[in-house]
Amino acid sequence: MAFELTWSSAASEDLAEFHAFILRDSLMYAVGCVQRVINKAESLAEMPERGRVVPEYADPAVREVIVGNYGLVYRIWADIIGIVGVIHGARVMPIR
């Protein structure tokens, strides 16, 4: 069963900030990094429970997969995967 994938506005903003930060050094690298995050998010539609439960939330529906130095945080609903954040590993996990 494939899940529908949605991005919250906060996650979309995180991804845009991620892109802008890397863009300062390299357009090609910025595009590639963002594409890897998008590809990883899209892959969750087939196996959403493969990510680890986010310890700060202690909710089995809130999970993350790691993409480079970033955590792709998502929530699993009945048939929807909601991307809720793209958080750098050095940052404190925000409560959203």
pLDDT at 57: 86
pTM above the 0.85 mark? yes
39 inside domain = yes
Looking up residue 38, the CATH number of its domain turns out to be: 3.30.2310.20
96 inside domain = no
d(CA 81, CA 49): 10
Half-sphere exposure of 27 (CA within 13 A, CB side): 0
Q: Which residue range is the domain that position 69 belongs to?
A: 4-88
94 inside domain = no
| Residue 91: pLDDT over 70 | no
- Which of 32, 29, 84 is CA-nearest to residue 54? 84
95 inside domain = no
Q: Which residues of 64-94 are buried (b: 16+ CB within 10 A; e: fewer)?
A: bbebeebbbbbbbeeeebbbbbbbeeeeebe
Q: How many domains are contained in the chain?
A: 1
Q: pLDDT, tens digit, for every residue of 25-78?
A: 898 888 999 999 999 999 999 999 999 999 888 899 999 999 998 999 999 999
